[in-house]
């Protein structure tokens, strides 16, 4: 396999933020007297804030504008992320990032989270020197599982899609990466629920194991 670039999702891959997302969604929906199932919430993992709230707004006939719902969601998440001292990089992911960087691969973050959230996380854990590009859901027209976000990252990195590897934790992300024609490593994060990851080329629940396999078989 010839790989020149690795593109990381952030939520559920670099940080284990999905439980926080679900709690804050519950809190915000409670303001409207709405409770959605865990299964419905898990289906939104990997998609943009706009995509999620557009569906919820239509389904539950919310009177607030889509823009207002997105604003509330993002302000609530960023504030809680900054205050939450328990959020740390997922075990082993920082070592994997450093290893890939030392192998002179181009690294990017392609996340449905907004740019200020991505920057906050990357700076907080002192990972900024390893990533040359950040792409958000706001930078592309279509949310995952469309391939737009990964194709945009490849374009910015100046690497052909077939020479890119994506690391994802969600069905939507895996589908997006394969739709982009990229190699996909799926990280099986228990807090992301029982995601359908079978289209991925490689699946593991341990970044230490992924790093071990990369050292043995890829580089």
> What does the pLDDT look like over 115-148, one tens digit per residue?
999 999 999 999 999 999 999 999 999 999 999 9
DSSP 116-143: HHHHHHHHHTT-GGG-SEEEEGGGSSS-
Which residue range(s) make up the domain with 25?
18-83
pLDDT value for 218 = 57
The residue ranking higher by pLDDT, 176 or 2, is 176
How many distinct structural domains can be found in the chain?
A: 2
**What contacts 23, CB < 8 A, 6 or more positions away?**
none
**One domain for residues 101 and 201:** yes
Average pLDDT over residues 190-194: 87
The pTM (predicted TM-score) of the whole model is 0.90
Q: Which two tokens stand for residue 83?
A: 């205050």
Average pLDDT over residues 164-182: 97
CATH code at position 94: 3.40.50.1000
Final residue belonging to a domain, choices 39, 56, 83: 83
**One domain for residues 169 and 65:** no
Chain segment 26-52, per-residue pLDDT in tens: 999 999 999 998 889 888 888 889 999
**What contacts 170, CB < 8 A, 6 or more positions away?**
9, 12, 45, 46, 144, 192, 195
* Res. 2 pLDDT band, cuts 50 70 90: confident
**One domain for residues 202 and 97:** yes
CATH code at position 46: 1.10.150
- Catalytic annotation, residues: 9
Euclidean distance between CA atoms 46 and 200, whole angstroms? 15
């Amino acid at each position: 396999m010839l790989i020149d670039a690795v593109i990381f999702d952030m939520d559920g891959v670099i940080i284990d933020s999905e439980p926080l997302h679900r709690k804050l969604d519950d809190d915000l929906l409670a303001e409207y007297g709405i409770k959605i199932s865990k299964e419905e919430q898990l289906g939104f993992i990997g998609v943009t804030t706009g995509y999620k709230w557009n569906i919820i707004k239509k389904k539950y006939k919310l009177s607030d504008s889509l823009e207002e719902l997105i604003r509330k969601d993002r302000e609530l998440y960023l504030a809680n992320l900054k205050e939450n001292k328990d959020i740390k990089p997922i075990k082993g992911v920082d070592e994997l990032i450093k290893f890939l960087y030392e192998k002179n691969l181009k690294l990017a973050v392609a996340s449905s989270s907004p740019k200020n959230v991505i920057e906050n996380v990357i700076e907080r854990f002192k990972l900024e020197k390893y990533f040359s590009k950040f792409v958000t859901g706001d930078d592309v027209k279509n949310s995952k599982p469309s391939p737009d976000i990964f194709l945009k990252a490849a374009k910015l990195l100046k690497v052909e899609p077939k020479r890119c590897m994506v690391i994802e934790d969600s069905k939507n992300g895996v589908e997006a990466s394969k739709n982009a024609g990229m190699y996909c490593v799926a990280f099986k994060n228990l807090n992301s629920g029982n995601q359908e990851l079978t289209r991925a080329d490689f699946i593991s629940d341990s970044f230490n194991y992924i790093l071990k396999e990369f050292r043995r078989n890829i580089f």
